[in-house]
Structure 1
């Protein structure tokens, strides 16, 4: 059962990201605080963490990631503008510019080595070239 965790303090980002990730992951949860995120990381052990920012760390995805992910859990870091050049990402992360879409998720899944655990029918559906 593939699991994903979304870290954001913006409800619309959480909703949009959850809709996209639910095509690929069996369980998708969202957290908006550092404390809640740490608890969710310990309890659910997600296969992927998508980071926008958290309460007190809005629009600071690298800082939010550093506070919550202390192991090698694969992550997608959603950054805008100058944040894209930050060197704060781990080796098991992919930096993307919002908005998140199925194409970017598929690319990240492959880059992070998660293709074997996600929903294969969705992965195949969104990996096909457009006609």
Structure 2
């Protein structure tokens, strides 16, 4: 009964599809063997698959380590909320939205066609992102 599993960033070695399976396996064994598992991670997906009561974030402030527990339910939580709580910055989705918003502001009065937007941004943005920009620009016209 005195079993402790330590996992150090298991997501580094797992295909993204297996992160939730890893969580299920850890839960299965900790519940059946009455043992403890500690996972150090930078994956918001592992946190999203864990109950609030099982999450503790370690923060280093100056020379002190502080522990912080989430004030919201983490299981199935919004990735943006988890990212902000754990890392203190916007998630990739929020960053993408802010980039799209800036480009829409720049292109608002240029009347560029979809092809012209691809020519201008195609080397740095996916065609799906350019399509979203184009649709936002079209919606502003109507």
Higher relative contact order, chain-length normalized (CA < 8 Å, sep 6+)? 1
| TM norm structure 2 | 0.29
Higher helix share: 2
> Which structure's CA Rg is the greater one?
2
